[in-house]
Chains A and B, each alone.
Chain A
């Protein structure tokens, strides 16, 4: 049955190709391809933008700085631009196939202009829907908690993305759970992206070049999660000389160094560490001296060009959190490593092979007499992947390949001197996927993409899924387009977590005989319009998402160190729908964006809430985000963000009963109430003392205020009884009042 389905889809795929080939292969076209390199270092520049002035078409260089497109014969002007580099124009005579090498010079300016690493017209021409891009230049301007801008906090400002709770680095995309997001750092999965219980993410700004968030319509080469892909890339660009960037803030300090070893090898090493514990050590209060609390991150990267056609790259990440006193300690951390080899076979076929290791680990230890123990848990993946792109410039703009991942989870082992070891059985599974997708321009106005991903999950039983994803763009005018698409995603591994914000005690479990894979069908459509030569981008997207076998947990589920975790799982259906409006201004003294989302997300699970439909924990009806940057002068930039969201669903008691003078709650249903609405204003001011300086060392100061008007947004609502009368009352716990901070950044 499955094979038949697959064969039919494959047939359909081929048929479409032949059909389009017959109908639309007409005028004489030539191929232009090449690579964009950094002048001097010869390092490839991925994500650089190529724009053809005459056709108003835009392209973006791939991970190895390569690009390729086809044109009707004629004369053209190519404009190449990239964050932090001087744009350049190249005139080309397209009479026959061309191979270009374009070199760009470093702008050597610290205050990066807001240039998104993509075609100016990408908003209306890109075939993928529900995709959001942020450059690090944009992110760094945002005001931030404790003065430390964080990429995950930045994406929480995008339409359709919600913070799971105040200050958290968990996020929900279009009503999905945080474990439905695939977070990749240079293509390697990061299982738990939080530091300090979620107040910071594991991503160090200074090592990141840009990020893309796909809100459901995930490129076919990735998959395995229902809600989104957050694709974070570290810097690939290397300056001509040894250089560094860094910063000193209230919470941690950062330093990133980059350089070359010969003209074929480039390297980068970066790290940061928090130092709250160092202050505690100096504290007069003896009680605090035993407290230790810190986190650190290390990133390293090395790229070597073996030949004109080959390059290899090694990327390493290691980070850890520690929290403890003299009597107990708690540690957790991620590792994400990758080795990749890119090879160009000929002007049409390019491949990348990669080996990726991800690990998330936590361990607790107690030295308390009578309760001495250590508790460890590890999640580890080994992934091998092969990705190919083939481009013949009229029929095929093809990506295909496969991945195979060995999941090995050790959910928990508790060891102690006095008692026997307690161990939850290891879980392992093989997740394999084959994919193929194609993008083609059918007419001047209509482009399509279509593809399939065949995912196979094997542990005690085998599941197969064919995941089709299709989309089209129809250009209404030079400045506007209509898009629509459908995406199908399947998720085989999931997090056992019933709390609303993430804790570090992650336990992942697998689909198996009793737990079917979760599936999502996403339909979306949208209208995109650019104004004033693409300075303003406007969009409206609507989506409807249908979820099957969606997972939730029994009331009072016992998820920690439970050998029979599966008995706590409840499955059912879910749906989410909404509309997202976005208006962005890219240039000018005043730039930024405003977005508004109207959405709903709900679940219906027979064994929960008496089978009645209830709101997903991350449902927020209305969300508004406003980000404004104002360049007051070359020295001073002011920024502000304002966020507003409907309060998250909450469960409050409707009655109470009494046992021996103590009151206990009675509930009438799950998520029947909402917390008070959330809103917050953050402000920042970036001061560059010498913007025109020719000196190598440059610096800037950043002052920020988080929650400028001191809104007391509730983190949790708790209940208690009056000490004297015993009458119950409610209290709101809020985390942050107004928090001012200061950060010093430098670059050399």
Chain B
């Protein structure tokens, strides 16, 4: 959707005299919701889930962490992992020991917490299955030039497996995540199912050297990297539900898109009992490439 938004804005600027202006909106305050978000991976690490509460949209304070919840994850091997709140980082619950998930395994999350202050603990649950990894043969970063802008494209060489699959991709520049959830790459295999990907373009970056050429308002649509940067490309095959969660989150992040989007609506998660967020598991595969 970021791409269509960009196209739309470009058209509006060419055709009209589109301008933006800050406005004040008087919004109602919705009932607070419990927010649970966590990913289990097959990398040996302290597997974690973060818990917080929602706040009014324009609230100036940060979303507050939820402390004191009872959090467990039960695997399909009937192991029970207990997660404890990190003392440095409130609201972040981690396994006591290093743990690694396994492709094919199912994880069941249980969070017990008295969110409504009623005196009893409410139960929030979610279940996810880790899908097998997506194996890339190689990755290249190329450049294309269009309308005077140089853009880096990420091109993947791989065999796409048969069957309906959903992928997210994340990018680390110098080992730091450069693309948070709103900038995850999204790929469905509807057009390429079971086929050999021979340099399929899966993502693009804008060139940091040209950042001044982008209008300030437009910069939010891009991730900028510099020629010579080492980029780690992480591909994850994910459940359809999580793919949709990311896609919907990206769609509504900036509000409506009157030409290509429908009316904004809630991002659909998989946590029970009215909580917001997602609990999922995936097995990332990574390759590195240098931006030319």
Q: Residues on A close to B: CB < 8 A?
A: 165, 167, 196-197, 199, 276, 285-288, 290-291, 293, 323, 325-328, 368-371, 373, 414, 416, 418-420, 422, 498-503, 505, 553, 555-557, 561, 563, 617, 650-668, 670-673, 676, 712, 714-720, 725-737, 739
Contact = CB atoms under 8 A, between A and B. Distances in A.
A499 B30 CA distance: 25
Nearest to A726: B62
Given A165-B258, A651-B264, A715-B18, A327 B144 contact: yes
Given A555-B265, A656-B55, A718 B254 contact: yes
A731 B256 CA distance: 11
Nearest to B200: A370
Nearest to B191: A422
Interface of B: 11-12, 14-25, 27-33, 35, 37, 50, 52, 54-60, 62-63, 142, 144, 146-149, 153, 155, 180-182, 190-192, 195, 198-201, 217, 220, 244, 247-249, 251-268, 276-277
Contacts, number: 245
Given A286-B148, A664-B249, A716-B255, A655 B195 contact: no
Given A655-B29, A659-B37, A720-B254, A499 B261 contact: yes
Given A370-B200, A499-B260, A556-B248, A660 B181 contact: yes
Contact of B23 (A323, A731, A739): A731
A426 B260 CA distance: 23
Given A293-B14, A664-B253, A665-B264, A197 B259 contact: yes
Contact of A167 (B16, B182, B247): B16
- When A and B form their complex, which 8 residue pairs have the shortest distance between CB atoms, in order from nearest? A287-B148, A654-B30, A498-B262, A370-B201, A555-B265, A658-B63, A655-B30, A371-B201
A287 B14 CA distance: 13
Contacts of B33: 655, 657, 666
Contact of B22 (A369, A561, A731): A731
Nearest to B19: A734
A676 to B, nearest CB: 8
A714 B60 CA distance: 25
Contact of B28 (A285, A556, A668, A720): A668
A670 B256 contact: no
Contacts of A293: 14
B244 A420 contact: no
Given A720-B220, A733-B19, A737-B17, A653 B180 contact: no
Contacts of B148: 285-287
A290 B144 CA distance: 14
Contacts of A503: 259-260
B11 A197 contact: yes
Nearest to A421: B191
A730 B23 CA distance: 6
Contact of A666 (B17, B254, B263, B266): B266
A235 to B, nearest CB: 29
B17 A290 contact: no
B58 to A, nearest CB: 6
Contact of A288 (B29, B147, B201, B247): B147
B40 to A, nearest CB: 16
A557 B262 contact: yes
A673 B30 CA distance: 14
A325 B147 CA distance: 7
Nearest to B201: A370
A196 B15 contact: yes
A522 to B, nearest CB: 26
B57 A653 contact: yes
A717 B262 contact: no
B268 A718 contact: no
Contacts of A326: 146-147
Given A498-B263, A561-B190, A735-B12, A715 B253 contact: no
A261 to B, nearest CB: 40
Given A371-B200, A503-B259, A290 B146 contact: yes
Contact of B181 (A167, A659, A725, A728): A659
A556 B30 contact: no
B17 A501 contact: no
Contact of B18 (A720, A728, A735): A735
Contact of A662 (B52, B182, B199): B182
Given A553-B262, A666-B54, A671-B263, A650 B276 contact: no
A664 B252 contact: yes
16 contacts: A165-B258, A327-B146, A369-B144, A371-B201, A556-B251, A561-B191, A654-B27, A658-B62, A659-B181, A659-B277, A670-B263, A712-B19, A716-B255, A716-B258, A733-B19, A734-B21
A469 to B, nearest CB: 33
Contacts of A672: 28
A123 to B, nearest CB: 37
A355 B169 CA distance: 53
A655 B14 contact: no
Given A288-B147, A420-B195, A716-B256, A736 B17 contact: yes
Contacts of B11: 197, 323
Nearest to A664: B249
B289 to A, nearest CB: 13
Contact of A369 (B58, B201, B217, B247): B201
Contacts of A323: 11
A425 to B, nearest CB: 14
Nearest to B249: A664
A370 B153 contact: yes
A561 B155 CA distance: 23
A500 B263 CA distance: 8
B2 to A, nearest CB: 13
Contact of B142 (A370, A419, A676, A716): A370
B27 A653 contact: yes
A661 B266 contact: no
Given A370-B153, A737-B17, 4 more contacts: A369-B201, A370-B200, A557-B262, A666-B57
B15 A199 contact: yes
Contacts of B149: 287
Given A196-B15, A197-B15, A419 B263 contact: no
Contacts of A553: 262
A76 B14 CA distance: 60
Contacts of A736: 16-17
Contact of B63 (A563, A657, A676): A657
A26 B190 CA distance: 73
Nearest to A556: B248
B276 A737 contact: no
A139 B285 CA distance: 63
Given A369-B144, A661-B180, A730-B22, A655 B56 contact: yes
A673 B264 CA distance: 12
A563 B262 CA distance: 19
